[in-house]
Every structure is written in structure tokens, then in C-alpha cells.
Amino acid sequence: MDNRFFAIGTLSLLTLACASDPIIDTKGVNMAQYQQDLNECQAYAQQVNVGTKAASGAAAGAVVGAVIGAAVGNSNTAGRAAGAGATAGAAKGTGRAMHERERVTRNCLRNRGYAVLN
């Protein structure tokens, strides 16, 4: 059981490390103002709850894994498959949440008049 939570945490941190700042066209941009706007937009993006999305992904993955494990094996197989499904589901949920945070940040910057390139 502890190994699953360790794996979920590790995958979540790896996903967080992959997050990137938006790339903007800086021609004619006041960089001090941009940095302030970026910080404000990132604060809005923090409203996306990564933990909730990871937990719901883990729950869904555990259910799917348990069903598949039970179908192809016994209760022991179902338990292992549920653990694997929970880990994969948590990673997927975390990835989706981080992608949503990046999208919120980019949309916020676009709405403030920046040309976001990525």
C-alpha cells in the first residue's frame, strides 16, 4: 500500500516538473508589467485543484484495474491491478490538472493582450 502512494507522489512531482511558462512575443512588451501579469494569471491557475483531479483519477483507475484484475485472475490479481490502475489514474489526473493550469495561464495572458506563442 505504501509503495502505491509513493509511486503516485513521484508521478505527480514528475508531472509538475514538466509544467512550462508560456512563451510570448516580447516585442514592445514592458517586461516588468508582463511579470506582474504572469504572476496574477498563475495565481488564477492555482484555483485548479490538482489534488482533487489526481484523487478522482486514482479512484477511477483503481475501479477499472480491479474489474480487469478480477476478470482475468483472482482477488490477489484484482488487488494488484487496482493498485496499478490507481497509480496510472492519479498520474493521468495530475497531468490533466497541470495542463488545465497552463491553459488558464495562457488564456489569461491572451485576454490581457499578450501574443502567447505556445
Strand partners, 24: 116
| The three cell numbers locating residue 115 | 501574443
The residue type found at 46 is Q
101-112: pLDDT as tens digits: 999 999 999 999
Q: What is the pLDDT of residues 20-29, one digit of tens each?
A: 789 999 999 9
Q: pLDDT digits over 40-69, tens only?
A: 999 999 998 887 767 777 777 777 777 777
Nearest alpha carbon to residue 99 among 38, 39, 53: 53
Mean confidence (pLDDT) of the chain: 81
Domain-wise residue ranges, the chain:
2-111
Nearest-angstrom CA–CA distance, 70 and 48: 34
Query: For the whole prediction, is pTM greater than 0.85?
Result: no
Confidence at residue 55, expressed as pLDDT on a 0 to 100 scale: 76
